[in-house]
Amino acid sequence: MPPRKIIIDTDPGQDDAVAILLALASPGEIEVLGLTAVAGNVPLELTARNARMVCELADHAHIPVFAGCDRPLGRALVTAEHVHGKTGLDGPDLPEPSMALQDAHAVEFLIETLRREPSGSVTLCPLGPLTNIATAFRQAPDIIPRVAEIVLMGGAYFEVGNITPAAEFNIYVDPEAADTVFRAGAPLTVMPLDVTHKALVTGPRNEAFRALGTPVGNAVAQMTDFFERFDKEKYGSQGAPLHDPCVTAYLIRPELFSGRHVNVEIETTSELTLGMTVADWWGVTDRAPNATFMGDLDAQGFFDLLTERLARL
Ligand code: BDR
Ligand code: CA
């Protein structure tokens, strides 16, 4: 099978960075057509910078990086410096990027690429708020049936919220965009907190990254060192949850994950539960399934894969 063509839509974020590194380290399975940056964990200027820093860390400065939407469709931007630090990528001391941003807007790149490539050949991998993807779908609905699959990190069901009691960050930041994407009709695979909170970087797992003895291994270990303090304090967990790498790991080893094909809708009006992903896990409604909502993963298999792939960079 030829590698799957993907576009990674991202707001790096230490866990976004690891997701990108995993994709770049896996050319046998994944061909990264480009990265599109969106405002999320930190403002757009920083996510567009961080995305390029990650490409350069991986020695992949040829990957085109596009800046996209700088705010949600209809709301003020909420950011997460309290988790990711002031730059969004706190932890390692990485050089400022020297590769340039592309001139085109991320939304233009999404639309043009989906129109140019054979229908059903491009997978979208959103790792942040869904503003860029929803804007592209609203501006050019003809691209929706051309999408092979959307595999995204977002939402929560049994695990409930991380930014509010009910909502996960990526969906909460732009619930209208999420609603557009979840209703679009493209095949959708969702990595919610239910899964990503099982992808925990324990001490020995982080030591395995460090023991690679490479710039990438060290940077990843330093990123998770920084990123873990928040979740350790909040949840009393053993380490940082690698949310976004679940998306790219799924493209390489889907059998590591299990879930259910169910109806998932986004709350866009209630002040109390704004951005909640209402997943009909138990099939108690007759609403049509629109997403494969993951619930579990083989955590050790995931970390073995990640460590083995990062060693290639
Ligand atoms: C998601 O929010 C961000 O902080 C992370 O990068 C991840 O995409 C987890 O809720
Ligand atoms: Ca992210």
Can you give the pLDDT at residue 232?
74
Sort strands 264-266 and 200-201 into parallel, antiparallel or unpaired.
Answer: unpaired
The answer to whether residue 243 is catalytic is yes
CB 96 within 8 Å of CB 135: no
Task: Give the nearest ligand 1 atom to 163 CA.
Answer: 10
Contacts of 90 (CB under 8 A, 6+ apart): 14, 84, 226
| Beta carbons of 275 and 266 less than 8 angstroms apart | yes
**Ligand 1 pocket, residue 168 CB under 6 Å:** yes
How far CA 36 is from CA of 6, 54, 57, 260, in Å, comes to 11, 13, 17, 29
Q: What is the pLDDT of residues 184-226, one digit of tens each?
A: 999 999 999 999 999 999 999 999 999 999 999 999 999 999 9
**Strands (DSSP E) found in the chain:** 4-10, 30-37, 65-67, 122-126, 147-153, 188-191, 200-201, 240-241, 257-262, 264-266, 277-279, 291-297
Instruction: Kindly give the number of the ligand 1 atom that is closest to the alpha carbon of 153.
Output: 8
What's the pTM value of the predicted model, to 2 decimals? 0.97
153 lines ligand 1 (CB under 6 A): yes
| 263 CB near ligand 1 (under 6 Å) | no
Q: Where are the beta strands (DSSP E) in 25-83?
A: 30-37, 65-67
User: Exposed/middle/buried for 87, CB within 10 Å: 0-12, 13-18, 19+?
Assistant: middle
Query: Cα of 69 to ligand 2 centre, how many Å?
Result: 15
Q: Are the C-beta atoms of 109 and 66 separated by less than 8 Å? A: yes
Q: What pLDDT is attached to residue 239?
A: 83
Residue 310 contacts residue 217 (beta carbons within 8 Å)? yes
- Positions in the chain short of pLDDT 70: none
